[in-house]
């Protein structure tokens, strides 16, 4: 035993199989030989000497030395009588005699930027109150359940009049009720691991185990998650295991040589991003990263991780500049074999802890079986962002409707592969920055047409198979790109069209939640059937969505032109009476009011491959949804409670 660390834990850490290494690494309060104090543990295989320095010893190197306890370079020491809140760093003497000051890779708390020291953590006495949520999650089936994700950057969703950030606790009181009222099922947070630069949005991390101090303490963040769970909202966090930033106090050249990054600079350097790639084949790095995923699950009750930049992990030459020579694996391919093995291992471990945890790959490649189980050769994620659908749809929607018929395949091609993976349809922060324009500003035409196009895009996304994600501000049609130093343009809600868009998204979300046809069979071909994908000249498509109960079927019609089509024939699967239950062109949504009132009796004649059809009015730049009804049912204007 080394200050209460067992030999088994040390062995497993160096084997890459200590999946809770955060319990032994970093700074921990312990009682040892009758003394109370803090144990410090750090992995520095190339170091000659390691010390803990801070205000408590006047940053004097030599006073508090750690002992090397494994030949692989794990250093441990004990300092009595430290106070929680004390700041510290590791002073590492390299083999060439240089002295480095490094933040603790396993620190649970960090100083507020621009300061960079680690903080001795206090003993958390937070009492969770999310037992009902945890019990429900045991029986949760993410595949057949509704999933509406609201993507949020904490620092710019709202700001105080002074320009200061809201705290985790304050956001629990204003963000959570808002998201709940809008009908979302999950909040996805841009990375909250400690990071030095605000405008990296958290994607260049220095403190993987420290929730950022920008918005409060670790217990404050636990409170935020707890309130989400008590309001039946899941919490997903963006997580960046692919690369880390080069700040001197961080992981780069941690003990004077490559430790967390690849030794080969060609594999380590990500020139386009100015970051370094983790050495996925190194056992201690595997223990560090896999334990980190488990840590957020266990310590903060996080419900899922959206794993950033998976393609950059999988491919050795991803984003490699033209001037740099390409590299290849031992078989001559461009896949990073260690990264693929690491990803499979990561997902196996995570799901062994929590089978219904969400592991969502942000993957822009066409690599197969990303969401297939590892035992059949898959990568083992349970969801993947559908970047192809997003790119095709945004490209299509930018075209003036008069030209859309020449690009009709962009709205239908996704169905060639949509059931090959478990997809999330993302309209994320990445699509509204760096000169790409806001979603509303991407839409062609005058102002009315821009709003109509955006309503149509959202409606089509909601009815297309796959779970849904929308970045903050999209729900009220923000005109400006995301300004990552300012709050959203909430004042736009006072303008009629923006207010109507906000109302529309809320109603659309609740409509989705009440219609199992739109989520129960998201990942099964049985849940979808084309009615007509071929009407290129009029840019109209029609399809069916089915729930697990075959009687639950929706007829969905999308018109991507501003023309109203009257007496339009739509083949339907069974004879009977059909009624429009949703229409994005309603006046209350800012539309032109071209709705289908009354009942539509099917006509017994073949059309679109079915034995009968109905005649409808197709609204302009709009989506309309029909459902077969029982004639004896009471005539409800919407057929829903929204």
Query: Which two three-digit tokens encode residue 355?
Result: 């089978």
Query: Which two three-digit tokens encode residue 335?
Result: 């896949």
Torsion of CA 9, 11, 13, 14, to 10 degrees: 170
Q: Rounded to an integer, what is the distance from CA 388 to the centroid of its chain? A: 17
- Exposed/middle/buried for residue 257 (C-beta within 10 Å: 0-12, 13-18, 19+): middle
Phi-psi region of 232 (alpha: psi -120 to 50; beta: other; left: phi over 0): left
Rounded to whole angstroms, how far apart are CA atoms 634 and 630? 9
Rounded to whole angstroms, how far apart are CA atoms 252 and 261? 7
Rounded to whole angstroms, how far apart are CA atoms 300 and 296? 5
Backbone angles phi, psi at 172, to 5 degrees: -60, -30
Mapped onto helix, strand or coil, the DSSP state of residue 334 is: coil
Rounded to whole angstroms, how far apart are CA atoms 467 and 143? 9
Rounded to whole angstroms, how far apart are CA atoms 300 and 258? 31
Rounded to whole angstroms, how far apart are CA atoms 461 and 90? 50
Phi-psi region of 203 (alpha: psi -120 to 50; beta: other; left: phi over 0): alpha
Rounded to whole angstroms, how far apart are CA atoms 612 and 607? 6
Contact 616, 580 (CB under 8 A): yes
Rounded to whole angstroms, how far apart are CA atoms 573 and 611? 7
- Of 319, 346, 341, the residue nearest 330 (C-alpha): 341
Which residue's structure tokens are 């990264």?
Answer: 339
Rounded to whole angstroms, how far apart are CA atoms 61 and 100? 11
Active site residues: 308, 362
114 vs 111, 126, 214, 247, CA distance in Å?
8, 28, 10, 12
Q: Strands, E, within 486-638: which ranges? A: 528-535, 540-546, 553-559, 565-572, 577-583, 600-601, 612-618, 622-629
Residues 497, 498, 504, 507: is their CA dihedral positive or negative?
negative
- Tell me how many helices (H) and strands (E) the chain has: 14, 29
Contact 282, 297 (CB under 8 A): no
**Cis amide prior to 182 (ω within 30 degrees):** no
255 vs 101, 258, 289, CA distance in Å?
9, 8, 19
Q: Which residues pair with 165 in a beta bridge?
A: 159
User: Hey, how many other C-beta atoms are within 10 angstroms of the C-beta on 30?
Assistant: 13
Contact 460, 508 (CB under 8 A): no
Report H helices in 40-161.
131-138, 154-157
39 vs 19, 109, 121, CA distance in Å?
19, 15, 12
Q: Show Cβ contacts of residue 99 under 8 Å, excluding neighbours closer than 6 positions.
A: 61, 91, 92, 93
Contact 172, 223 (CB under 8 A): yes
């Amino acid at each position: 035993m080394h200050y209460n660390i067992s030999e088994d834990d040390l062995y497993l850490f160096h084997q890459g199989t200590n999946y809770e290494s955060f319990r032994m690494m970093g700074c921990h309060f312990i009682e040892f030989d009758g003394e109370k104090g803090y144990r410090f543990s750090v992995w520095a295989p190339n170091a000659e000497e390691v010390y803990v320095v801070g205000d408590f010893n006047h940053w004097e190197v030599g006073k508090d030395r750690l002992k090397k306890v494994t030949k692989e370079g794990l250093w441990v020491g004990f300092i009595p009588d430290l106070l929680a809140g004390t700041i510290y760093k590791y002073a590492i003497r390299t083999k060439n005699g240089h002295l480095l000051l490094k933040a603790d890779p396993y620190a649970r708390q960090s100083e507020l930027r621009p300061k960079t020291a680690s903080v001795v953590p206090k003993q958390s006495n937070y009492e969770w109150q999310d037992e009902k949520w945890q019990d429900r999650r045991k029986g949760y089936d993410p595949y057949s359940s509704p999933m509406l994700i609201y993507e949020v950057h904490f620092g710019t969703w709202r700001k105080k009049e002074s320009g200061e950030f809201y705290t985790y606790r304050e956001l629990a009181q204003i963000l959570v009720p808002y998201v709940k009222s809008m009908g979302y099922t999950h909040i996805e947070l841009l990375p909250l691991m400690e990071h030095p630069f605000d405008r990296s949005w958290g994607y260049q991390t220095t403190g993987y185990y420290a929730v950022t101090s920008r918005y409060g303490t670790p217990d404050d963040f636990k409170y935020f998650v707890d309130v989400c769970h008590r309001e039946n909202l899941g919490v997903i966090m963006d997580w960046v295991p692919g690369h880390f930033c080069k700040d001197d106090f961080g992981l780069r050249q941690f003990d004077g040589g490559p430790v967390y990054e690849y030794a080969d600079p060609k594999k380590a350097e990500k020139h386009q991003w100015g970051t370094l790639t983790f050495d996925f084949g190194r056992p201690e790095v595997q223990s560090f990263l896999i334990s980190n995923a488990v840590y957020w699950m266990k310590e903060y009750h996080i419900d899922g991780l959206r794993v950033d930049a998976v393609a950059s992990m999988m491919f050795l030459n991803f984003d490699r500049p033209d001037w740099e020579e390409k590299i290849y694996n031992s078989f001559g391919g461009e896949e990073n074999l260690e990264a693929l093995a690491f990803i499979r291992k990561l997902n196996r471990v995570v799901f062994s802890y929590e089978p219904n945890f969400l592991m969502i790959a942000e993957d822009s490649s066409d690599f197969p079986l990303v969401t297939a189980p590892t035992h059949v050769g898959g990568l083992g994620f349970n969801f993947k962002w559908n970047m192809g659908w997003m790119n095709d749809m945004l490209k299509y929607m930018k075209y003036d409707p008069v030209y859309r018929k020449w690009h009709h395949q962009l709205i239908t091609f996704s169905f060639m592969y949509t059931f090959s993976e478990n997809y999330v349809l993302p309209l994320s922060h990445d699509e509204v920055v760096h000169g790409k324009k806001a979603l509303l500003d991407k839409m062609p035409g005058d102002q009315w047409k821009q709003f109509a196009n955006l309503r149509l895009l959202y409606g089509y996304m909601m009815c297309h198979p796959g779970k849904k994600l929308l970045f903050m501000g999209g729900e009220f049609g923000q005109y400006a790109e995301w300004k990552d130093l300012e709050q959203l343009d909430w004042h736009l809600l006072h303008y009629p069209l923006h207010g109507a868009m906000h109302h529309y998204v809320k109603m659309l979300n609740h409509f989705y939640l009440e219609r199992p046809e739109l989520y129960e069979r998201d990942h099964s071909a049985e849940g979808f059937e084309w009615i007509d994908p071929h009407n290129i000249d009029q840019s109209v498509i029609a399809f069916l969505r089915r729930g697990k109960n075959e009687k639950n079927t929706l007829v969905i019609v999308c018109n991507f032109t501003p023309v109203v089509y009257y007496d339009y024939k739509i083949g339907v699967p069974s004879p009977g009476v059909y009624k429009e239950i949703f229409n994005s062109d309603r006046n209350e949504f800012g539309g032109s009011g071209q709705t289908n009132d009354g009942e539509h009796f099917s006509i017994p004649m073949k059309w679109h491959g079915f034995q009968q059809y109905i005649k409808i009015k197709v609204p302009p730049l709009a989506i309309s949804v029909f459902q077969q009804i029982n004639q004896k049912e009471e005539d409800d204007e919407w057929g829903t409670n929204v």
